[in-house]
Amino acid sequence: MLVLRIAGDGIRQPVAVVRAGSAEMIPIKKWQAIFFAVCLMFIACNVFEINRIVNQPNPGQISTMTYGWDYGVYVASVRAMSNGQNPYDFNIISTYENPIFGTVLIPDYPPHTFRFFQIINYFPIFDYRSLNVYYSIMGLLFLLALGILSGIDKKPDYVLLATFAVTGFMALEWDIVTGNIPILFMFLLTVAFVLIAKGYYEWSGIVMGISAAVSLFTAPFILLLFFTKRSLADRIKTILLTCAITVSFFVMDAIFDHALFLTYFQRTFGSSNTFIKPGGWLSPVLFLLLKDIIGNGILWIVICAAFIVTILLLVGIYYKDNGPTLKTISIAAAGIFILLPFAGPYDFIILVVPLYVLFKDSGFVIKTIAVSVAALPVLVNILCNTNALPFPLMYIQSIGLMGIFVLAWLCGTRIMPFGNGFRMHFS
C-alpha cells in the first residue's frame, strides 16, 4: 500500500511504499534507483534490437538492403517525377525501386510533397548510397524536438524523456528500420505544443496544417486546438484556419498537376485506397484488433461505436477535471491516436510529446509503470520475431497505448484517491 502524509498545504504526499504481505518499507530513494535502472534496461534492449535488425543478413538475397525501404520509396518517387513519370503507377515505380531494395511500395504521400523532394534531389542526400545522410537529418529533427520540449520545461526529466523517445512503443526502432518520416511529424507536433504553451495558437494551427498537408494521417490531431484556453468561437476559427491551410496544398495540386492529383486521390480514397490496412503489426490499431477477434459484422460496428463513445467520455471527464491545460491536450492526443482507423508501427513516435507531458510530474512509481508499459513492445519484439508474432501480440503497441491512456487518465482525474491536482513527488 501507499503511505501518505499531510503536507502543510493540505495535500497528501507519499512517504514510502509497503510491500504486500510484509511490513518492510521501501525507501523513496530506492524507487528513484529502480526507475533509473528500468529506463537504462529498456534503452539498452532497444539499442541492441535496432543494431541486430540493421545488421542482420537478408534471407531472400533479393537486395543488399535490410532497412530503409520506405526511404527507397521517396527516392524512387523523386526520380520518377524528375523524369516526368507518375510515381503512383506500380509499373513505373517498380523500375526505380525494385533493383535496390527488393520490394515495390507505392507512395501514399500527396504530389506536393514530391515537389519539395525534387528540390532536395539536387543534393546528394537523395541517393541510395546516402541513406546515412537521410538518417542524420531525421536524427537532427529528433534531437531538436527533444531539446525544444525540455527547453520550455522549468524542471525537465531528461531520463523520462529519453526513455519515452528511444523505447516508447518501439516506434524509434520502426522509424530507423523502415526509413519512414514520422519523426518529422513528431518534430512538428512538438513545435505545435510549444506554441500552444506560449499562447501562439494561430501559429500552432499553421504548423499542424502543414503537418496534415504532408500526411493526412496527422489531420485528426488538428482537433487538439479545441482544448486550448480560449473562447469557443476563437477555437473554431483556428481549427478552420488550420484546415484551410491543409486544403490549400491539395487545391494547388488539383490546379497545377491535375492528372497526378487524380491518381493520388483515386489511390487514397478509391477502391484501392491506402487507408485500408491489413492489420497486425503493419497497422496495429485497436479497431483492427477487435475486427480480428469478432469479425467485421454488426457486432463489430456496435462495439467500435461504444469504444469511441467511451474514449470521448473519458477525455471529456479529464477536461472537466483539469481544464484547458497541456496535460488535457496530451490525453486528447493519446485518445485521438487510439481512435485512428489506421496507423503504421512507426507512427507511434509522435506520442513522445504527450507521454512526457502526462507523466513528467508523476512520482517514480508511476513513471516506472509508465515507461514499462510503453516499452513492452521492445521486450515482445526481442522474445518473438516481429513477422511471426502470435495473436494478439501483433497489436502490442496499441495494447500498450491503451494501458498508458488508462494510467494517465486515472492519475489525472478525481476518481483516483490522489486525483485532481495531486503531484506524486518521490524524490
What pLDDT digit, counting tens, does each position of 1-24 carry? 444 443 434 444 444 444 444 434
* pLDDT tens digits along 241-260: 999 999 999 999 899 888 88
- Domains: count for the chain: 1
Residue 427 located in a structural domain: no
The partner residues of 16 in beta bridges, in order of sequence, read 3
Residue 416 located in a structural domain: no
Residue 425 located in a structural domain: no
Per-residue model confidence (pLDDT) at position 272:
59
Q: Please report, as a single letter, which amino acid is at residue 342.
A: F
Mean pLDDT for 280-300 is 85
Per-residue model confidence (pLDDT) at position 69:
76
Minimum mean pLDDT range among 78-87, 182-191, 283-292, 359-368: 78-87
Per the CB < 8 A criterion, the answer to whether 261 and 113 are in contact is no
Q: Quick one: CA dihedral 240, 221, 71, 69, positive or negative?
A: negative
Residue 193 located in a structural domain: yes
* pLDDT tens digits along 353-397: 999 999 998 889 999 999 999 998 888 887 776 556 676 778 889
Give the distance from CA 324 to its chain's centroid.
22
Q: Phi, psi (5° rounding) for residue 14? A: -75, 140
* pLDDT tens digits along 61-106: 334 556 777 877 887 888 888 788 888 888 888 777 655 555 667 8
Mean pLDDT for 31-54 is 88
For the chain, what is the largest distance between any 2 Cα atoms, rounded to a whole number of angstroms? 75
Residue 423 located in a structural domain: no
Q: What is the 3-state secondary structure (H, E, C) of the chain?
A: CEEEEECCCCCEEEEEEECCCCCCEECHHHHHHHHHHHHHHHHHHHHHHHHHHHHCCCCCCCCCCCCCHHHHHHHHHHHHHHCCCCCCCHHHHHHHHHHHHCCCCCCCCCHHHHHHHHHHCCCCCCCHHHHHHHHHHHHHHHHHHHHHHHHCCCCCCHHHHHHHHHHHHHHHHHHHHHCCCHHHHHHHHHHHHHHHHHCCHHHHHHHHHHHHHHCHHHHHHHHHHHHCCCCHHHHHHHHHHHHHHHHHHHHHHHHHCHHHHHHHHHHHHCCCCCCCCCCHHHCCCHHHHHHHHHCCCHHHHHHHHHHHHHHHHHHHHHHHHHCCCHHHHHHHHHHHHHCCCCCCCCHHHHHHHHHHHHHCCCCHHHHHHHHHHHCHHHHHHHHCCHHHCCCCHHHHHHHHHHHHHHHHHHHCCCCCCCCCCCCCCCC
Residue 417 located in a structural domain: no
Output the pTM of the full model.
0.84
Per-residue model confidence (pLDDT) at position 100:
52
- pLDDT band for 339, please (50, 70, 90 cuts): very high
* pLDDT tens digits along 135-173: 888 899 999 999 998 888 888 999 999 999 999 999 998
- pLDDT band for 336, please (50, 70, 90 cuts): very high
The grid coordinates listed for 419 are: 486525483
Q: Please report, as a single letter, which amino acid is at residue 30.
A: K
Residue 183 located in a structural domain: yes
Average pLDDT across the chain, whole number: 81
Structural domain span for residue 353: 2-411
Per-residue model confidence (pLDDT) at position 335:
94
Residue 424 located in a structural domain: no
Per the CB < 8 A criterion, the answer to whether 15 and 31 are in contact is no
The partner residues of 17 in beta bridges, in order of sequence, read 2, 26
